[in-house]
A and B are shown apart, each in its own frame.
Chain A
Amino acid sequence: MGSGGAAPGEGRVVSASERTIASAVHRYWFPALPAARLAVFSRIIHLTVLLTVFRFDRWVADHAFAPRPFWQPVAVARWVGLPAPTPGTMALLQWVIGVATVVAIIGVGPTVWRRLVNLVVATSYLTWIVWAFSFSKVDHDRLTIIVALFVLVVVPGTVAGRDAADTDALAGWGLRTVQIAFVLAYPLSAFTKLRKSGIGWISSAVFARAIVRRGSEFGDWFADRPSLLRAGQAAFITFEFLAVFALRRTGRLRVIVLVGVVLLHLFTYAAVGIHFLPHTICITAFLPLERLHPRWRATRHVGDDAAPDDRELVGA
């Protein structure tokens, strides 16, 4: 019988190896990170919601008058009986998102109130996105920010009533969850490419097609260089798989992968004009954002390496 076995009539004995695994799992999912980091992250995410709804996603608001034969509700819309948007309901939703998001960014009040505000933002933004994608075209750049918004319902991201430098395992859980959602998008995108097109995706003309459809000066330069585009496709899908290394807790490899993610998105934006902002902004969940928090700055010297669990910092 192994050391973890239980004798008849006795309580189960937890082995040392089980304790080690449980401890490692706990350290990974609940790293002690500064609460101020999540507080800054919360404001960044809510500001992004505000920008997308009132600036970048104007096309969603335009769905309010789209021809009704094109309304094709996704499953979640059918389940809750969400009707197609009208000019009135769309304007109302924008107002709700706008007011709730500004309140969330201002970030005052007790924790329960902030949870409630964040819940209003999360559910109303989800409704906005469901209206966006219920006309037959689903983009895959929204999952991470939706996860972030619901994480902020559970952990509202506040340093009220505490030292700004205090660490918090729940703040760590929230940021870790967002990091995982962010990173998963890359290997799963690569997997979907192989699932839909096989290994032939690499030698296909998928980049050329995207450039023809959404061209830019930068992209047009590549359009006449198919070998370069194919090499780019090979590098792209390889990098998407390698992005899982960003799930490591620490280390240079994680930093390299995250820098690569930024470069990948810059290339995509330059070539075909797609910024994936609601997704890409979530890379900030990896950064030592507490250094931007006024109260953290007031109590610490910027550049101090004394933050608890600094191993979680990108670059550390």
Chain B
Amino acid sequence: MLGSLAMVASTLAGSFLWTDDAFPMAPFRMFSYGNSPNSVVRTMRFEADLENGEHVRLDASTVGLRRAELEEQTNPHRRVPDENLEAIAAVYNERHDPDMVHLQVVVRRIDMVDGVPQSGETITVIGDWADDRYTGERVDVDLDLAEPWGGYGS
């Protein structure tokens, strides 16, 4: 019974005091952030050029991540560090053929008005990386460089 009481106490402490860092006794916070009905919804994906000239859209699972993990660690208002992009491309290239030679992180934004998602979307590139083999167009990302991820703070 002591074990049961410890489980209950630590579960309560997780919800009242702790953060996700305390997993498995983390707060039950999925869907707990209520956004304004007049806010925006953002999602992230990759766009890439392959060595054979093909242009592809990829989701985070292509490189072993869930989309939410990419989004949690990628500030949509900051430039993605090149070393992160290079690491993503390296993972892709280890597992796929032909190689990725150009990678962009793209933010898709949908506006909401009175809680209703509006048609149309805005696309912003927040990270652009290429290796020596790529000769096509690049996007000059005019954003401040992202700080390292802040940790399990909430």
The segment from A10-18, A62-70, A92-100, A103-111 found at the interface with B is: A62-70
| Min CB–CB distance B91 → chain A (angstroms) | 5
Query: Cβ of B8: which chain A residues have Cβ within 8 Å of it?
Result: 180, 184
Interface size class of B (residues with CB under 8 A): 35 or more
Whether B11 lies near A177 (C-beta < 8 A) is: no
Closest A residue to B85 by beta carbon equals A67
List the 6 shortest-distance A-B pairs measured between CB atoms, nearest first.
A204-B34, A226-B115, A66-B64, A197-B34, A201-B34, A67-B87
Q: A129-B24, A192-B29, A206-B34 are in contact. Are A223 and B151 (CB under 8 A)?
A: no
Q: Complex Cα distance A180/B149, Å?
A: 35
Whether A135 lies near B65 (C-beta < 8 A) is: yes
Q: Complex Cα distance A211/B112, Å?
A: 12
Query: Cβ of A72: which chain B residues have Cβ within 8 Å of it?
Result: 73, 149, 151-152
| Min CB–CB distance A133 → chain B (angstroms) | 5
Whether B32 lies near A59 (C-beta < 8 A) is: no
Whether A206 lies near B31 (C-beta < 8 A) is: yes
Whether A188 lies near B27 (C-beta < 8 A) is: yes
Q: Complex Cα distance A208/B27, Å?
A: 23
The binding surface of chain A is classed by DSSP as helix
List the interface of chain A (C-beta within 8 A of B): 29-30, 59, 62-70, 72, 74-76, 126, 129-130, 133, 135-143, 146-147, 150, 154, 173, 176-177, 180-181, 184-185, 188-189, 191-193, 195-198, 200-206, 208-213, 223-224, 226, 229-230
Query: Cβ of B27: which chain A residues have Cβ within 8 Å of it?
Result: 140, 188, 192, 195
The segment from B37-45, B47-55, B128-136, B137-145 found at the interface with A is: B37-45
24 A-B interface contacts by CB (under 8 A): A62-B64, A65-B94, A69-B87, A74-B23, A129-B24, A136-B152, A137-B66, A137-B68, A138-B152, A140-B29, A177-B7, A189-B30, A191-B15, A192-B28, A193-B31, A196-B29, A197-B32, A205-B36, A208-B116, A209-B39, A211-B117, A226-B114, A226-B116, A229-B115
